Structure 1
Amino acid sequence: MRVHPVPMLFLSGPPGVGKTTVAWEIFGQLVDSGNSPAFVDLDLLGACWPVPDDDPHNERMKARNLGAMWQNYRAAGARCVLAAGVIESRDGLALYADAVPNAVPVLCRLYAGRQELADRIVRRGRERGADLDKLTRRAAQLSAQLERDDIADFRVDTDGRGVPEVAREVVKEWLRLTGDVDGS
């Protein structure tokens, strides 16, 4: 039995950069082009309380859930994985990739300038009633950290660009790095 690689695209970046929105757009583009993707939001995979003291972002839970979901996605015919969430270290990326047998992980860091992040958070936050100042500060801090400790395979700037354009650029670079997004 031939074991097929599982291309995995991780979209990382600070709050407001567009990780989930871009991932959904890529999902649609892949479906439209005849591919068989699965999509996961890493934050939702770890939405469980309490979190362990030694794992404050609940990454082990997220990875276990990703592995369990992949089994179901694969049985349903999915051949690649799109995952949106903040990934701050190579160890974190490895934890997620190890949850999916034969994974070929690629990490894309989405980038937006400080003012663009703040504007997006304000637009999005009006609907949620969030603490916008706190979230804006966190986004700026995380963006600076991800820029400083860059572990991504590639970066895509999102400032002043539409979601479809950003998604096309991400897929183009992903294809350049992997040669295939459908694990064939």
Structure 2
Amino acid sequence: MAVDPVPFLLISGPPGVGKTTVGWEIFDQVVDEGHRAALVDPDLIGVCWPAQRTTPTNERLKARNLEAMWRNYRDAGARCLIAAGEIENRDRFAAYVDAIPGAVPTLCRLTARHDELRRRIVTRGRERGEEIEKLYERAVYLSRALAENDVTNFWVETDDRGIADVAKLVRARAGGWPATLL
């Protein structure tokens, strides 16, 4: 049975860079243009404790949940998918792509200066005290690791740009996503 192609935009980057916010903006833009889209945050669909010993960040669970959610989204009419989360390596990227039959993946990495990441982490108000420092340290580590082991199609700097501008730039660098893939 033939499977229709699924434009699948994955937005990656360190904590505080704006992945979820940009994902929502892209979702709003494509829906406003008349596309039937879905949005998912892999980190949120993997929140389960205890974590599996072999995958402490619950990557297998996230991929299975993504697969199940896509089936439901597709049945509800979605024809393209946006995922905003930390995609640290080729294995994680492949697991997410494999979860979506017919996926035509585009992986974008968002970047920001370290001082800007700290500012965003503090101002979003979710973390407190030591949690802020731990998350900031993870953001710096992940910024460097993603740059060194880049598996993305392209990256977009978010410093000094508004959310709508970042979203438009991501879509433009992805070839007008999703219109050119539908």
Short-chain TM bin: over 0.9
CA contact (8 A) 2:171 2:177 kept: no
* Kept after mapping to 1: 8 A contact 2:20/2:41: yes
Matched, 1:116 2:116: yes
Compute the RMSD of aligned alpha carbons: 1.6
- 1:92 aligned partner: 92
Residue in structure 1 matched with residue 72 of structure 2 by the alignment? 72
Q: Does structure 1 retain, via aligned residues, the 8 Å contact 2:106–2:174?
A: yes
Check conservation: 1:42, 1:84, Cα contact below 8 A.
Answer: yes
Q: Which amino acid letter does the alignment assign opposite residue 34 of structure 2?
A: G
CA positional deviation for 1:59: 0.7
- Does the aligned pair in 2 maintain the 1:10–1:84 contact within 8 Å? yes
Flag structure 1 segments of 5+ consecutive residues without an equivalent: none
Distance in 2 between the 1:39 and 1:178 partners?
13
Q: What is the Cα deviation at residue 138 of structure 1?
A: 1.2
Instruction: Tell me how far 1:175 sits from its aligned partner.
Output: 2.5
Residue 172 of structure 1 is matched in structure 2 by 172
- 1:129 is aligned to 128
Q: TM-score, normalised by structure 2?
A: 0.94
Deviating 4+ runs (over 3 angstroms):
176-179
Cα separation, 2, equivalents of 1:41 and 1:179: 22
What are the ranges of 5 or more consecutive residues in structure 2 without an aligned counterpart?
none
How far is the alpha carbon of 1:180 from its aligned partner?
2.3
Q: What amino acid is aligned across from residue 180 of structure 1 in structure 2?
A: T
Write the mapping of 1:18-167 to structure 2, written as runs, cut at 5 A: 18-125=18-125, 127-129=126-128, 131-167=131-167
Conserved? CA contact 1:106–1:153, under 8 Å: yes
Q: Distance in 1 between matches of 2:111 and 2:152?
A: 11
- Residue equivalent to 1:8: 8
- Local SS of the residue matching 2:175: helix
Per-residue CA deviation, residues 105-128 of structure 1 (Å, 9 max, x unaligned), is 111000001011011111113x54
Q: TM-score, normalised by structure 1?
A: 0.93
Question: Aligned letter for 2:148?
Answer: R
CA distance in 1, matches of 2:114, 2:127: 21
Q: In structure 2, how many angstroms separate the alpha carbons of the residues matched to 1:57 and 1:77?
A: 30
CA contact (8 A) 1:41 1:83 kept: yes
Q: C-alpha offsets along residues 7-50 of structure 1, whole Å, 9 cap, x if unaligned?
A: 10000000000000000000000001111110000011100111
> Contact conserved, 1:5 with 1:104, CA < 8 A, in 2?
yes
Kept in 1, the 8 Å contact 2:37–2:80? The answer is yes
State the shift of 1:173 in Å: 1.5
Q: Do the aligned partners of residues 178 and 143 (structure 1) sit closer, same or farther apart at CA in structure 2, a change above 3 Å counting?
A: same
Three-state SS of the structure 2 residue aligned to 1:95 is helix
- Structure 2 CA distance for aligned equivalents of residues 176 and 165 of structure 1: 14
The number of residues matched between the two structures is 181
